[in-house]
């Protein structure tokens, strides 16, 4: 076991995977010699050589297109898109190509790729370094979508993603890279080294894709969250004193519906939290499913707490970010409802 930040855990996952399987290759903008702008691939080129970890030209559709071609050959590319906000040029390759190669060739060709991308705000990155585009992927059949909330999960899930036979979008909440950020931006974040989930095995292990984890058991209300919002929800539960059950989805697609349904049947109330914008966001999907499966157990209308339906602003970042105060208000609202 070692203490790792989320970046170190992600790096370790790639390192372990490259060490075990020659077919794993890692590339993207600035990921080679430099090791990536967030340093996730630092040292991998030196260790595995520049034909297994290299810089890509700044062309996201090219990165995805070549990854798909390599996967068709038999490699297992794990590529980095420097910020999730820059995946749009690659969207065609992701949605119409990677996602459908297995289906349209009836399994003759497959696409075992992983697309890593830092996601979410909280770093004063403005509208093109803050987005959370997960719902643009969960709307696409054929993709798997993962958003880890801590180093332990990040490593186990990334190794699972690399070993998965299908394309996986792996969104890393950049605000969690150094610690379990809970939305209290005025306070320094506790480093992962002081957190249980910063304890990470050095070797190989996987976490099954599609299994949620209950981060805080509770009886009063179910909070469904993922990524940074898991920590925000935990803080909100603590600060309101409401006995919330906080579910960390970890994987949005496939979704662990059983864990959600069991919890809501117990609590009778449900709040869904994400940083992405509200309209057509992933929360809408969760709320629909809960309505279908738990309608007769619900004691109050469900509530979504999300980013506002605007671009991510620069100066008003903390008015945009759905922090613990807003989540706390939603918890009270469903308790009174």
Ligand X SMILES: Cc1ncc(C[n+]2csc(CCOP(=O)(O)OP(=O)(O)O)c2C)c(N)n1
Q: Which is nearer to another protein, 50 or 194 (CB)?
A: 50
Among 76, 129, 215, 269, binds another protein (CB under 8 A): 129
Q: Which of residues 227-266 bind another protein (CB under 8 A)?
A: none
C-alpha separations of 303 from 65, 251, 277, 278 in Å: 39, 21, 14, 11
- Residues 65 and 226: their CA atoms lie apart, in Å, by 29
105 interacts with another protein by CB under 8 A? no
Q: Do 18 and 51 touch, CB atoms closer than 8 A?
A: no
Q: In whole angstroms, how close is the CB of 32 to ligand X at the nearest point? A: 13
Q: In whole angstroms, how close is the CB of 83 to ligand X at the nearest point? A: 7
Among 58, 219, 299, 337, binds another protein (CB under 8 A): 58
Which range touches another protein (CB under 8 A), out of 30-38, 173-181, 254-262, 292-300? Answer: 30-38
91 interacts with another protein by CB under 8 A? no
Q: In whole angstroms, how close is the CB of 91 to ligand X at the nearest point? A: 12
- Of residues 204, 244, 240, 205, the one with CA closest to residue 223: 244
- Of residues 46, 43, 36, 108, the one with CA closest to residue 79: 36
- Residues 216 and 10: their CA atoms lie apart, in Å, by 24
Which range touches another protein (CB under 8 A), out of 58-66, 113-121, 251-259, 295-303? Answer: 58-66
C-alpha separations of 62 from 27, 75, 79, 87 in Å: 11, 16, 11, 11
CA 25 to chain centre: 21
Residue 140: both structure tokens together: 């696409």
Whether 129 is a known active-site residue: answer yes
Which range touches another protein (CB under 8 A), out of 7-15, 120-128, 192-200, 210-218? Answer: 120-128
Among 34, 73, 103, 109, binds another protein (CB under 8 A): 34
Q: What is the DSSP letter of 233?
A: H
- Residues 102 and 166: their CA atoms lie apart, in Å, by 8
57 interacts with another protein by CB under 8 A? yes
Q: Which is nearer to another protein, 61 or 262 (CB)?
A: 61
- Residues 232 and 238: their CA atoms lie apart, in Å, by 10
Q: In whole angstroms, how close is the CB of 296 to another protein at the nearest point? A: 29
Q: Which is nearer to another protein, 279 or 288 (CB)?
A: 279
- Of residues 302, 306, 307, 274, the one with CA closest to residue 289: 302
61 interacts with another protein by CB under 8 A? yes
Q: In whole angstroms, how close is the CB of 177 to ligand X at the nearest point? A: 17
189 exposed, middle or buried (CB, 10 Å; 0-12, 13-18, 19+)?
Answer: middle
Q: In whole angstroms, how close is the CB of 73 to another protein at the nearest point? A: 12
310 binds, among another protein, ligand X, none (CB under 5 to 8 A by kind): another protein
Q: Give the binding site for ligand X (CB under 6 A).
A: 29, 58, 60, 82, 86, 89
CA 87 to chain centre: 15
Which positions are catalytic? 129
Applying CB under 8 A, the residues found at the interface with another protein are 29-30, 32-34, 37, 50-51, 54-62, 85-86, 88-89, 124-129, 278-279, 308-311, 313-316, 319-320
């Amino acid at each position: 076991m070692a203490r790792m930040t989320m970046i170190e855990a992600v790096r370790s996952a790639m390192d372990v995977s490259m060490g075990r399987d020659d077919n794993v290759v890692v590339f993207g903008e600035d990921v080679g010699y430099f090791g990536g702008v967030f340093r996730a691939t630092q040292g991998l080129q030196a260790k595995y050589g520049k034909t297994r970890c290299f810089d890509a030209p700044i062309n996201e559709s090219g990165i995805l297109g070549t990854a798909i071609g390599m996967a068709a050959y038999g490699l297992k590319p794990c590529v980095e898109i420097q910020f999730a906000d820059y995946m749009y040029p690659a969207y065609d390759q992701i949605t119409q190509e990677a996602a459908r190669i297995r289906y349209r060739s009836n399994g003759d060709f497959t696409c075992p790729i992983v697309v890593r991308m830092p996601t979410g705000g909280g770093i004063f990155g403005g509208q093109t370094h803050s987005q959370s585009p997960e719902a643009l992927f969960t709307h696409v059949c054929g993709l798997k979508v993962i958003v880890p909330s801590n180093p332990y999960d990040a490593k186990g899930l990334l190794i699972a993603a690399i070993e998965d036979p299908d394309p996986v979008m792996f969104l890393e909440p950049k605000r969690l890279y150094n610690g379990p950020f809970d939305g209290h931006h005025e306070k320094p974040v506790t480093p992962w080294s002081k957190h249980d989930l910063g304890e990470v095995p050095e070797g190989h292990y996987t976490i099954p894709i599609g299994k949620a984890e209950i981060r805080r058991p509770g009886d009063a209300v179910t909070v469904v969250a993922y990524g940074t919002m898991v920590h925000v929800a935990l803080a909100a539960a603590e600060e309101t004193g409401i006995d919330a059950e906080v579910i960390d989805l970890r994987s949005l697609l496939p979704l662990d519906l059983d864990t959600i349904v069991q919890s809501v049947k117990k609590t009778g109330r449900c709040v869904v939290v994400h940083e992405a914008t509200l309209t057509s966001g992933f929360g809408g999907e969760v709320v629909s499913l809960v309505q279908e499966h738990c309608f007769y157990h619900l004691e109050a209308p469900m509530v979504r707490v999300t980013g506002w339906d605007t671009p991510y602003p620069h100066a008003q970042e903390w008015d945009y970010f759905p922090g613990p105060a807003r989540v706390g208000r939603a918890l009270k609202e469903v308790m009174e409802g």
